[in-house]
Amino acid sequence: MALPLAERIRVAADLRPAAQVFAALGNVVRLEIVKVLSEQGPMTAAELRVAMSAGDISPHLRLLIEAGIIERAGHRKGSGAPIIFALVDDALNAIIFLLR
């Protein structure tokens, strides 16, 4: 089982995990995605686009997932149901930890 984001950052011998988090947050669209998800809870990509009045957010979602900030939740393979995106449980705590 993978360590939670905050724990990966704390035990890292180098600052690469922290740099990946800050690089992912170094964009207005990605920051807005995190803000909307933190305020409104899990959403589909379509719901995020409406909430943000944004166009294609797919590349931004991928980067946030790779950084461990958000995750795909509620998707059932083959169901045709839209994928729901949510903040990783400890993502905001990890970001706050990095800012200390």
> How does pLDDT run across 18-62, given as a tens digit for each residue?
788 888 989 999 999 999 999 999 999 999 999 998 888 999 999
Q: Give the span between the Cα atoms of 2 and 49, in whole angstroms.
A: 30
Q: Are 84 and 44 in contact (CB under 8 A)?
A: yes
> pTM for the complete prediction?
0.77
Query: pLDDT of 79-94, one tens digit each?
Result: 677 889 999 887 777 7
Residue 15 Ramachandran class (φ > 0 left, ψ -120 to 50 alpha, else beta) = alpha
Q: Are 5 and 87 in contact (CB under 8 A)?
A: no
Q: Are 88 and 69 in contact (CB under 8 A)?
A: yes
3-class state of residue 90 by DSSP? coil
> Given this model, what pLDDT does residue 78 score?
62
> Given this model, what pLDDT does residue 10 score?
60
> Given this model, what pLDDT does residue 61 score?
96
> Given this model, what pLDDT does residue 6 score?
64
Confidence of residue 1 (pLDDT cuts 50, 70, 90): very low
Q: Which domains does the chain have, with CATH numbers?
A: 5-99 (1.10.10.10)
> Given this model, what pLDDT does residue 77 score?
59
Q: Give the span between the Cα atoms of 25 and 69, in whole angstroms.
A: 9
